[in-house]
Amino acid sequence: MKWKKHWKKIVTGIIVILLIIDALAGLFFYNLVIERNVKDFLNGNADLEVSADTMDVLLAGNWRDWSREQDFEIWEMESHDDLSLKGYYLEAKKPTNKTVVFAHGYLGLATDMSLFGEYYYEELGYNMFTPDLRGHGESEGDYIGFGWHDRMDLVDWIDRIIAELGTDTEIVLHGISMGAAAVLMASGEELPSNVKAIVADSPYTSVNDLFAYQLDRMFHLPAFPILPATSLVTNIRAGYTLKEASALEQVQKAEIPILYIHGKSDTFVPTRMTKDLYENTNSDAEIHLYDDANHGESFVKHRDSYIAVLNSFLDQYIP
């Protein structure tokens, strides 16, 4: 009997130690990825490497000068959970009822979307609105929502735009990477009929899927039991779970046409995720995959084709 009690104590001790280690791992990965802080762990990540020409455009392209020269209006809004959010509105040169709403990527800024905004503004004649997502830029938030809470912020911004610009406003949502996931997550909500089309460039299916992929690729670790622990910490600290933050489930409820774009050489967010999203989308959808394009690189490397695809798609739904 004594040896049974002895082994029971040993097994119990081992289980407790493993649970403590798992909890610490959950805290570690929450702080590493979700908490608002400096993300040095992405420095030197080979999966985020782009061509030298693309890097030149991203860092010092003419679009950055264009963005700095524009007289953006600063809009402020209080979120449903009392965060002060900021966005930036640019009225078109000529009166129009067409407005593009952008959503930037992980660790990005609202002004980063001027890479696309310059074309919408200068060539298509759209009004432009681009917010700092929660936990980024000038918007409050001590965590990154990975699109989930951002989807409701986008809904609130859309309501604000309609209130400001009029009920005849026609809106396009255009997001990249995390921002693409955010606009897709918003697609499953009850959006006003003013939202006519969505463009999702390099999105992921869900936060849980993305983290599982990156745990294996970057850290060579299994999803279980680390992700359940990270999800629990995220739910306690940020108010959402990794599995509920699912673009895949949201597009199954979508009623707005969606254009999917992804680079075939994307190793940071695998191309298969966009294929899965496309195949599960309830609304009208198109998908375009670009050769030799890494994460978020399609617009720069295949600009003419990207624009042709974008114009064709928009012409169908916002003639």
Average pLDDT, the chain: 94
Please report the pLDDT score of residue 90 as a whole number. Answer: 98
Q: What is the pTM of this model?
A: 0.95
How would you list the strands of the sheet with 127-131, edge to edge? 73-78, 84-90, 127-131, 98-103, 170-176, 195-201, 258-263, 285-290
Please report the pLDDT score of residue 42 as a whole number. Answer: 85
Bridge partners of 287, per DSSP, are 260
Bridge partners of 43, per DSSP, are none
Give tens-digit pLDDT for 127-143. 999 999 999 999 999 99
pLDDT band at 10 (very low <50, low <70, confident <90, very high): low
Please report the pLDDT score of residue 48 as a whole number. Answer: 84
pLDDT band at 3 (very low <50, low <70, confident <90, very high): low
Please report the pLDDT score of residue 51 as a whole number. Answer: 82
The correct answer on CATH 3.40.50.1820 for the domain covering 35-206+245-317 is: yes
Domain boundaries, the chain: 35-206+245-317
The whole-number average pLDDT for the span 227-248 is 97
Give tens-digit pLDDT for 49-82. 888 889 889 988 899 999 999 999 999 999 999 9
Q: Give, in order, the Cα–Cα distances in Å from 238 to each of 86, 228, 232, 245, 275.
A: 20, 15, 10, 12, 29
Please report the pLDDT score of residue 122 as a whole number. Answer: 98
121 phi and psi angles, rounded to 5 deg:
-75, -50
- Count of Cβ atoms closer than 10 Å to residue 150 Cβ: 31
